């Protein structure tokens, strides 16, 4: 079987187990996990935007002959 298919199925299994485990948690813990997930997604988005900005600035400076 293709390695990518096996990895995808394994990831799906882990996510399924994590969702099932999350259902049995108290309300405060579930809220904290959701908040942490939201914060993590925001952090990744900010890092991606910062990387794109650095790339574009470097590109413009190299076109102008400064860098």
Segment 39-64 shows an average pLDDT of 96
Residue 16 lies in domain:
3-64
Mind listing the pLDDT tens digit for each residue in 13-48? 766 766 665 567 788 988 998 999 999 999 999 999
Q: What is the total count of domains within the chain?
A: 1
Position 32 scores a pLDDT of 92
Q: What is the pLDDT of residue 11?
A: 74
Distance CA 54, CA 61 (A): 11
> Averaged over 8-12, what is the pLDDT?
75
């Amino acid at each position: 079987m293709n390695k990518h298919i096996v990895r995808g199925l394994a990831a799906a299994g882990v996510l399924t187990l994590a969702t099932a485990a999350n259902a049995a948690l108290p309300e405060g813990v579930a809220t904290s996990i959701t908040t942490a997930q939201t914060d993590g997604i925001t952090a990744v988005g900010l890092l991606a935007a910062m990387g794109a900005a650095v790339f574009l600035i470097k590109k413009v400076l190299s076109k102008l002959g400064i860098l």
